Chain A
Amino acid sequence: NAGVTQTPKFQVLKTGQSMTLQCAQDMNHEYMSWYRQDPGMGLRLIHYSVGAGITDQGEVPNGYNVSRSTTEDFPLRLLSAAPSQTSVYFCASSTANQGSIFAFFGQGTRLTVV
């Protein structure tokens, strides 16, 4: 049982390049989310999904796309990378219990855009 797996762990991109950050969970959770973490800013929600085929925007969605074709996978796409997207990205998988959501996090992807 791996939990939440993010790949790659590290990535360097040139401005304008595109890439996909992968996230997979094996806990059969309905909810999945992407966050970015920047110094002094905490975690900010980029996009989230409440089930296969359903996604919605978070606090900072610009420059990112997501899709949820299966329960297990929730990839995050950067269409044209910008230096402002240099950050640590975390994927979370969540389950609801008695009206409360509990999140399980991956180990993060450290992205640098030069």
Chain B
Amino acid sequence: SQQGEEDPQALSIQEGENATMNCSYKTSINNLQWYRQNSGRGLVHLILIRSNEREKHSGRLRVTLDTSKKSSSLLITASRAADTASYFCATARQAGTALIFGKGTTLSVSS
């Protein structure tokens, strides 16, 4: 079964607003990653947060991790139309062999 579950499944916002999506996972992890997928394309790595980190920033992205609740959140600030995409969280399957992805959150940013 899939390790991560994103919430919400779909999110629609206006340009300039912030977008928050959440991920819950089942087992202990060394790190958690977020990926982005533009329509019809492959996934692209966005950001990684390690299990000993609580928060990490990269440009307009802010990721938090709560290992006690087995959850993570991805915040995109000041959203742009170009942020329209699906976002997935991913964790490593068993000691770093293959990534397991959640079902994703589809973000739509309208201008």
Are A and B bound to each other?
Answer: yes
Distance in angstroms from B39 CB to nearest chain A CB is 11
Interface residues of A (CB under 8 A from B): 4, 31, 33, 35, 40-45, 48, 50, 56, 58-59, 90, 92, 94, 96, 99-108
Distance in angstroms from B36 CB to nearest chain A CB is 11
Binds A, one of B13-21, B72-80, B93-101: B93-101
Q: Which residues in window 77-107 of B have CB below 8 A to A?
A: 88, 90, 92-93, 96-104
Contact B48 A102, beta carbon cutoff 8 Å: yes
Contact B45 A103, beta carbon cutoff 8 Å: yes
Contact B30 A35, beta carbon cutoff 8 Å: no
**CB nearest to B6 among chain A residues:** A42
A45, A50, A90, A99: the one within 8 Å of B100 (CB):
A45
- Which DSSP category, helix, strand, loop or mixed, fits chain A's interface? strand
**CB nearest to B40 among chain A residues:** A108
Q: Which of B2, B48, B98, B102 has its CB near the most chain A CB atoms (within 10 A)?
A: B98
Considering the complex of A and B, which 7 residue pairs feature the smallest CB-CB distances, nearest first? A105-B42, A42-B103, A48-B98, A43-B101, A33-B98, A105-B43, A100-B31
A-B residue pair count with CB separations less than 8 angstroms: 77
**Chain A contacts for B30, CB-based, 8 A:** 99-100
**Chain B contacts for A105, CB-based, 8 A:** 42-44
Query: Is B1 on the interface with A (CB-CB < 8 A)?
Result: yes
CA distance A14 to B41 in the complex (A): 25
Contact B43 A103, beta carbon cutoff 8 Å: yes
Q: Which of A35, A41, A96 has its CB near the most chain B CB atoms (within 10 A)?
A: A35
7 extra interchain contacts, Cβ-Cβ under 8 A, other than A100-B48, A105-B43, A106-B42? A42-B2, A48-B93, A92-B99, A102-B33, A103-B90, A105-B42, A108-B40
Query: Is B56 on the interface with A (CB-CB < 8 A)?
Result: no
Q: Which residues in window 22-36 of B have CB below 8 A to A?
A: 30-31, 33, 35
**Chain A contacts for B90, CB-based, 8 A:** 103
Query: Is B57 on the interface with A (CB-CB < 8 A)?
Result: no
B9, B50, B92: the one within 8 Å of A101 (CB):
B92
